[in-house]
Amino acid sequence: MIYQYTGKTMKYCSICGNPVEQRIPEGDNRHRYVCVSCETIHYQNPNIVAGTVTVWEGQILLCRRAIEPRYGYWTLPAGFMENEETTMEAAARETREEALAEVDIQGLYSMIDVPHINQVHLFYRAQLLDGRFGAGEESLETQLFHPSRIPWSEISFPTVRKTLELFLSDMKTQQFGVHVTDIRHPMAKNN
């Protein structure tokens, strides 16, 4: 799944339960949540979303989302990387969970920074192992799409759209490099 955190503000120390305050710790240059009692510094850092561009007989595997946000829209199988796994394992796991598909991962394909939501999206190229797939709990349906039939008007997220655009272009030459780019908030001043 790709979802967004609630963005609730930290008020209490998760270690000792006392209030936190925002201040710049010694030797640091940024405001952090710091416990007024046990002095634990609670860092907040970006999250990784990992997924696959999975191909079978020249067609691309997409899932139609059964959850918000973007219920009913099509996505590449992808979701938050978990602790104790690699990015590649995360990408394969998400493909298994959302598309009920076992894949052979072939290489990193895209890394897209999305700084306004504190995420980095990674997509690996993959092939279905045996052609089998289905709809996982978070998918209404899963389908293979010929490049000329991608449902562009119903794509869930900008990073999925960007990765599909790059991939379709590379399919013509069968030269798949690693694409590193970013997607900024449409209202960001520097874009």
Residue 137 backbone zone (phi > 0: left; psi -120 to 50: alpha; other: beta): alpha
Which DSSP helix (H) or strand (E) runs through 33?
strand 32-35
Of 54, 75, 87, 139, the one binding a second copy (CB under 8 A) is 87
Which of these segments, 17-25, 54-62, 146-154, 155-163, binds a second copy (CB under 8 A)? Answer: 17-25
Q: Which residues within the stretch 90-109 sit at the binding site for a second copy (CB under 8 A)?
A: 107-108
Per CB under 8 A, 170 contacts a second copy: no
Per CB under 8 A, 86 contacts a second copy: yes
Strand extents, DSSP E, 38-178: 41-42, 47-56, 59-65, 74-75, 78-80, 103-114, 119-128, 139-145
The rounded distance, in Å, linking the Cα atoms of 109 and 24 is 38
CB of 59 to a second copy, least distance (A): 25
CB of 134 to a second copy, least distance (A): 17
Residues 6+ apart with CB under 8 A from 174: none
Structure tokens at 129: 């192992």
Per CB under 8 A, 178 contacts a second copy: yes
CB of 96 to a second copy, least distance (A): 11
CB of 40 to a second copy, least distance (A): 7
Amino acid at 162: K
CB of 131 to a second copy, least distance (A): 25
Residue corresponding to tokens 């119903």: 154
Q: Which residues within the stretch 126-155 sit at the binding site for a second copy (CB under 8 A)?
A: 137-138
Closest CA to 23 of 15, 38, 33: 33
- Residues in the site for a second copy, rule: CB under 8 A? 5-6, 8-17, 19-20, 27, 30, 33, 40, 42-48, 80-89, 107-108, 111, 113, 115-116, 118, 120, 137-138, 177-178, 180, 182
